[in-house]
């Protein structure tokens, strides 16, 4: 486990809080494991009827820790940083327990794609969602290359995934990426109330309903295909230039890459 993921169980709701605010809740390999294991355990815990996902501080999640990605690109670090071995994404995709998220500030990369596996999403009106995978010479993960176009249409998804264009909270709700956009002061209460309402429903019926609504085989297949490209790109010269540019606080110059 890790101190960067807070785990609390009360009233049928398992609350998982990304607790690395000094790094904008960027997710590390140990955090992926902690979240994935907690979600998997919740499936077999009759006292848990809903999982609530939160981010500590002013930002929900800045995405994957780019330092981890850079290490993998250099042949170092934990392979769990790769999408094909990511325990959190696997747990989210196969979860049969309802998932609720509250999003404030910024959500970047996997901080956005994880929301596509949530059943209810509440977002602050002034929040911003960005998926800058291509800007980092990477490709989408978490089956987002399939789920995002299904949710909002190809052209909108392309602008997010390839151009990295941000989407604010109100737009996210209008597009169907969130149930509602609310003032940030009301966000936690709104999401918590929704999770508590789910926890009052019959657990087996809720789980079966969710299972009927999700094509798990298609999601798993898409994640596996994405993982092949992701691993290739993560080890690429393009990614090396992207990570170097990020560390040097400059724009990447992909014309340098043959």
User: Each residue of 71-113: pLDDT tens digit?
Assistant: 887 777 654 444 446 899 999 999 999 999 999 999 999 999 9
Rounded to the nearest angstrom, the gap between the alpha carbon of residue 244 and the centroid of all alpha carbons in its chain is 24
63 neighbors 26 (Cβ within 8 angstroms): yes
Rounded-to-integer distance, Cα 17 and Cα 88, Å: 13
Q: What is the pLDDT of residue 77?
A: 63
167 neighbors 154 (Cβ within 8 angstroms): no
DSSP state of 61: B
> Cβ contacts of residue 186 below 8 Å, gap of 6+?
none
pLDDT tops 60 at residue 5: yes
DSSP state of 135: G
User: Each residue of 238-249: pLDDT tens digit?
Assistant: 999 999 998 899
Mean residue pLDDT of the chain comes to 93
User: Each residue of 158-179: pLDDT tens digit?
Assistant: 999 999 999 999 999 999 999 9
147 neighbors 219 (Cβ within 8 angstroms): yes
pLDDT tops 70 at residue 17: yes
Q: What is the pLDDT of residue 80?
A: 43
């Amino acid at each position: 486990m890790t101190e960067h993921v807070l785990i609390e169980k009360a009233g049928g709701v398992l609350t998982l809080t990304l607790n690395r605010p000094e790094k904008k809740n960027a997710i590390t390999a140990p955090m992926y494991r902690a979240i994935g294991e907690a979600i998997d355990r919740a499936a077999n815990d009759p006292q848990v009827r809903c999982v609530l996902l939160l981010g500590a501080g002013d930002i929900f999640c800045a995405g994957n820790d780019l330092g981890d990605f850079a290490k993998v690109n250099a042949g170092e670090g934990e392979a769990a940083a790769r999408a094909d071995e990511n325990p959190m994404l696997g747990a989210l995709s196969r979860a049969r327990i309802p998932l609720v998220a509250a999003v404030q500030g910024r959500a970047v990369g996997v901080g956005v794609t994880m929301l596509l596996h949530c059943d209810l999403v509440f977002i602050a009106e002034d929040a911003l969602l960005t998926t800058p995978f291509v800007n980092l010479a990477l490709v989408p993960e978490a089956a987002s290359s399939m789920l995002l176009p299904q949710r909002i249409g190809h052209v909108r998804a392309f602008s997010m995934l390839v151009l990295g264009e941000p989407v604010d909270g109100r737009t996210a709700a209008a597009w169907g990426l969130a149930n509602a956009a609310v003032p940030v002061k009301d966000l936690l209460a709104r999401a918590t109330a929704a999770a508590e309402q789910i926890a009052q429903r019959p657990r087996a019926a809720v789980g079966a309903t969710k299972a009927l609504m999700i094509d798990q085989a298609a999601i798993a297949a898409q994640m596996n295909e994405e993982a092949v490209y992701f691993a290739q790109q993560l080890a690429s010269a393009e990614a090396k230039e992207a990570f170097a540019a990020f560390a040097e606080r400059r724009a990447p110059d992909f014309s340098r890459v043959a």
